[in-house]
Amino acid sequence: MDLRHDHYDWALWLAQAGGFDVFMLDFQGSGLSPRPKMDDPCNAPTADQTRALIPNPLSATCPPSYPFQLINSQSDWDELDTVVDYIRRLRRVDKVALVSWSQGAFRAGPYAVQHPEKVESLLFYAPIFNPAGRAGTGSDGFGAPIPLLQPGTPMTLTTRSDLMRLWDPEIKCEGQVEAGIQDVVWSAIMDSDPIGRTWGPPPAGAPEGSPPEGVMRVRSRVIPLWGWNAAIAHRITVPVLIIAGEFDTGAGGIQDFPGLYNEIPHSQKLWFKVQCAGHSMVWESQRKVLHHISKEWLKHGAVDGCARGKFFVDTDGIISPPQDPQDSQYPQDPLASCE
């Protein structure tokens, strides 16, 4: 979220332009947080070892020393709760606003249902949402439906090529992505993973003996998540804003924006589709729209006076009703209010 590069710093911009205290959480197994059991390259799936780790740092595939997945929904909610309580104590506030990206919706959405007394609002940026997602158990619907220790590996590996295979197909407009920004993004990811940056082959076409391009160690993608579906979304009581690019394909996850918007039962909810932007809008030219809308939302609980409805944002930053009111995937909300 903070590349420290030419106004690509969303969190820093919110702090400076909006006057907010902005905190960023890296969950266990990602970013600058601990990566337990992930320093051992044998704890990557065999397929990842074969394609990315031979001959560096492995000479051959090896079985995992820890043959289990690292996290689950409950461990993530517990980590988030620890951070929220820390911020509440530090800043002497009752509630915090939560901002999530992509799979972060799995953490922020259910957490807000479990702890509405601690959450001021939700901003879902490019949220993954499957109305038919796995349900939890128990009277509150958040109990584990499976044994918490699941077989597998603690991590999977993402190469630069993997990341670009997700990003590049969503780049469909001239000027959507600044030349060289993908290099900046990958460099920032490697800065947060000093071990991962020493693994793998050199960049394609690099001279023999060049340093590795690096791999991003990611806590296992095949993770036993639960508690984020239509029934849980219907229990959200705090204000919600959804924002995503028009070319967003969800990086392989299910994104039912109409389902999420419609399941939220109250009236303070907004949904913005942003022209010429994809799942990685935070690193694209339309990041300025993301910055503006998030600042307005966090300050006022509304955007340009609008507290409810579905809107389209063009490349000039002009906010308007959907371009095609008959679009079944993006129908205008007849109860939209801009008072």
3-state secondary structure of 252: helix
What pLDDT is stored for residue 334 in this prediction? 52
Output 173-179 pairs: Cβ under 8 A, ≥24 positions apart: 173/275, 173/276, 173/315, 175/276, 175/285, 176/276, 176/277, 176/278, 176/284, 176/285, 176/286, 177/283, 177/284, 177/285, 178/284, 178/285
Name the pLDDT band for 328 (thresholds 50, 70, 90).
low
Classify residue 97: in a domain, yes or no. Answer: yes
Classify residue 187: in a domain, yes or no. Answer: no
Residue predicted with more confidence, 253 or 109:
109
Residues 6+ away with beta carbon under 8 Å from 311: 270, 271, 272, 273, 303, 319, 320, 321, 322
Classify residue 75: in a domain, yes or no. Answer: yes
The residue assigned the tokens 């804003």 is: 241
What pLDDT is stored for residue 3 in this prediction? 86
Residue predicted with more confidence, 218 or 326:
218
Classify residue 15: in a domain, yes or no. Answer: yes
Contact 281, 126 (CB under 8 A): yes
What pLDDT is stored for residue 238 in this prediction? 98
Classify residue 338: in a domain, yes or no. Answer: no
Contact 273, 244 (CB under 8 A): yes
Contact 10, 282 (CB under 8 A): yes
Residue predicted with more confidence, 252 or 284:
284
Classify residue 124: in a domain, yes or no. Answer: yes
CA atoms within 13 A on the CB side of 54: 13
**CA end-to-end span of the chain:** 32
- Ordered DSSP codes for 39-76: SSGGGS-HHHIIIIITTTT-SS----SS-B----HHHH
pLDDT tens for each residue of 22-36 = 999 999 999 999 999
pLDDT tens for each residue of 123-159 = 999 999 999 999 999 999 999 999 988 999 999 999 9
pLDDT beyond 90 at 251: no
- Ordered DSSP codes for 270-327: EEEEETT--TTGGGSTTHHHHHHHHHHHHHHSSBTTB-BEEEEE-TT--EES-S-TT-
Name the pLDDT band for 243 (thresholds 50, 70, 90).
very high
What pLDDT is stored for residue 323 in this prediction? 63
Q: What is the mean pLDDT of the chain?
A: 93
Share of the chain above pLDDT 90, in %: 87
The residue assigned the tokens 């959405």 is: 109
Total domains in the chain come to 1
Mean pLDDT computed over 5-9: 88
Phi, psi at 247, each rounded to 5°: -100, 10
Percent helix, strand, coil in the chain, to 5, is 30, 15, 55
Classify residue 212: in a domain, yes or no. Answer: no
What pLDDT is stored for residue 145 in this prediction? 95
What pLDDT is stored for residue 336 in this prediction? 55
* Cα–Cα distance for residue pair 219/104, rounded to 1 Å: 13
The single-letter code of the amino acid at 302 is: A
pLDDT beyond 80 at 327: no
Classify residue 149: in a domain, yes or no. Answer: yes
Q: pTM of the full predicted structure?
A: 0.94
* Cα–Cα distance for residue pair 239/308, rounded to 1 Å: 10
Cα four-point dihedral sign 246, 247, 248, 253: positive
Does residue 57 have a cis bond before it (omega within 30 degrees)?
yes
Helix ranges, 159-264 (H): 160-167, 181-191, 230-233, 257-263
Domain that holds residue 133: 10-159+222-320
What pLDDT is stored for residue 331 in this prediction? 57
What pLDDT is stored for residue 85 in this prediction? 98
* Cα–Cα distance for residue pair 42/166, rounded to 1 Å: 26
CATH number of the domain that residue 101 is part of: 3.40.50
- Residue 309's DSSP bridge partners are 270
pLDDT beyond 60 at 265: yes
pLDDT tens for each residue of 62-88 = 999 999 999 999 999 999 999 999 999
pLDDT tens for each residue of 288-304 = 999 999 999 999 999 99
Q: 238, 230, 285: which is closest to 260 by C-alpha?
A: 230
